[in-house]
């Protein structure tokens, strides 16, 4: 059997075929269907049959003030949630990694919130934030409108998101820290690299691939935020927490404007793709030559 022939690789193709089939049916297929749908006017409550409208759905989205307001709320959520999630995860990883024992207990404790269903976590935090009998106001002896103020609602949800998602980034950063050889620290100590200088000169540069990965995944996930805003505030007050995915959901599955919803979904995809490309470019530029 020749190396590189189809028969030689047949075993690999056989094992990957079930995944590729599901990938094509449940991801590539819906993506292409949604792309095609975005060029059609299809209102399910209308007696009019779907018809081709070209780029009209995209033009309508770009002229829609609710689209821009939802995109602005989404971008603000990304700015609030991603840096604080990564910062919290990094501090937790550094702290646990420095512990001489019981690291397993703290790993489990910090990862536990990520295993909670978003509906349960959202209801729990809605009670925490309740202005009348919530846990936070009672503990702090204040009366803060966490979820009823248009200025505070989205930052409050971002705080809940940090609690809910930091455990996943924490695990990845812990794995990155464990990959740094102890000999590098020992060599640095001989050269007098200790304390904060050790962190900025050794730990942070070597942890860069893990940090880049969690930042990419954090940005992509935050642009697709939906569950926590929908469960905790439903998009209010005054639409201050209605993010773009919720607006797309309401357009497509409440108002049954499938074509317009598909067009906004592809616009969101383009936004995520551009931001991710910028992140890759910045990361590549900062890599050591």
pLDDT of residue 285 exceeding 90, the answer is no
- Domain containing residue 259: 55-285
**For residue 20, is it within any domain?**
no
CB 222 within 8 A of CB 169: no
CB 266 within 8 A of CB 39: no
DSSP 114: G
**For residue 8, is it within any domain?**
no
Written as six digits, the tokens of 64 are 């829609």
Percentage of the chain beyond pLDDT 90 is 75
Mean pLDDT calculated for residue range 234-253: 93
- Residue 115 belongs to a domain with what CATH number? 1.10.3720.10
CA distance 238 to 68: 15
Q: How many CB atoms lie within 10 A of CB 131?
A: 15
CA distance 229 to 224: 11
CA triple 37-42-46, angle to 5 deg: 170
Q: Which residue has the tokens 């703290």?
A: 106
Tens of pLDDT along 114-131? 999 999 999 999 999 998
What pLDDT, on a 0 to 100 scale, did the predictor assign at position 177? 94
CA distance 12 to 248: 39
CA distance 233 to 148: 9
CA triple 182-204-185, angle to 5 deg: 20
CB 188 within 8 A of CB 198: yes
Residues 6+ away with beta carbon under 8 Å from 266: 34, 35, 38, 58
**For residue 48, is it within any domain?**
no
The candidate with the shortest Cα–Cα distance to 64, out of 249, 273, 263, 280, is 263
**For residue 242, is it within any domain?**
yes
Written as six digits, the tokens of 102 are 């019981």
pLDDT of residue 175 exceeding 70, the answer is yes
Tens of pLDDT along 183-239? 998 898 888 888 888 889 999 999 999 999 999 999 999 999 999 999 999 998 999
pLDDT of residue 7 exceeding 80, the answer is no
Q: How far is CA 11 from the centre of its chain?
A: 36
Where does the pLDDT of residue 2 fall: very low under 50, low under 70, confident under 90, or very high at 90 and above?
Answer: low
**For residue 13, is it within any domain?**
no
pLDDT of residue 1 exceeding 90, the answer is no
CB 145 within 8 A of CB 194: no
CA distance 179 to 237: 46
Q: How many CB atoms lie within 10 A of CB 169?
A: 27
Half-sphere CA count of 30, side-chain side, radius 13 A: 7
What pLDDT, on a 0 to 100 scale, did the predictor assign at position 289? 63
Average pLDDT taken over every residue of the chain:
91
**For residue 210, is it within any domain?**
yes
**For residue 45, is it within any domain?**
no
Number of domains in the chain: 1
**For residue 136, is it within any domain?**
yes
Where does the pLDDT of residue 173 fall: very low under 50, low under 70, confident under 90, or very high at 90 and above?
Answer: very high
What pLDDT, on a 0 to 100 scale, did the predictor assign at position 65? 96
């Amino acid at each position: 059997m020749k190396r590189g022939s189809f028969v030689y690789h047949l075993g690999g193709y056989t094992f990957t075929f079930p995944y590729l089939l599901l990938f094509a049916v449940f991801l590539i297929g819906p993506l292409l269907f949604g792309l095609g749908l975005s060029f059609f006017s299809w209102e399910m409550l209308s007696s009019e049959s779907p018809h081709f409208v070209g780029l009209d759905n995209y033009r309508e989205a770009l002229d829609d003030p609710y689209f821009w307001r939802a995109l602005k709320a989404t971008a603000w959520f990304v700015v609030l949630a991603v840096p604080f999630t990564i910062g919290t995860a990094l501090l937790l990883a550094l702290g646990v990694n420095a512990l001489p024992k019981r690291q397993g207990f703290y790993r489990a404790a910090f990862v536990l919130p990520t295993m909670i269903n978003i509906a349960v976590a959202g209801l729990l935090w809605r009670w925490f934030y309740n202005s009348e009998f919530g846990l936070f106001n009672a503990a702090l002896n204040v009366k803060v409108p966490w979820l009823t103020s248009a200025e505070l609602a989205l930052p409050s949800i971002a705080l809940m998101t940090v609690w809910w998602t930091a455990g996943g980034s924490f695990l990845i950063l812990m794995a990155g820290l464990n990959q740094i050889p102890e000999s590098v620290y020992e060599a640095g100590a001989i050269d007098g690299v200790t304390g904060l200088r050790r962190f900025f000169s050794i730990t942070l540069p070597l942890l860069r691939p893990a940090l880049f990965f969690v930042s990419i995944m954090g940005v992509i996930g935050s642009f697709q935020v939906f569950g926590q805003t929908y469960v905790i505030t439903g998009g209010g007050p005054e639409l201050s927490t209605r993010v773009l995915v919720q607006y797309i959901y309401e357009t497509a599955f409440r108002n049954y404007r499938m074509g317009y919803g598909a067009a906004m979904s592809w616009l969101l995809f383009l936004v995520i793709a551009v931001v991710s490309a910028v992140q890759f470019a910045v990361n590549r530029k900062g890599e050591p030559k």
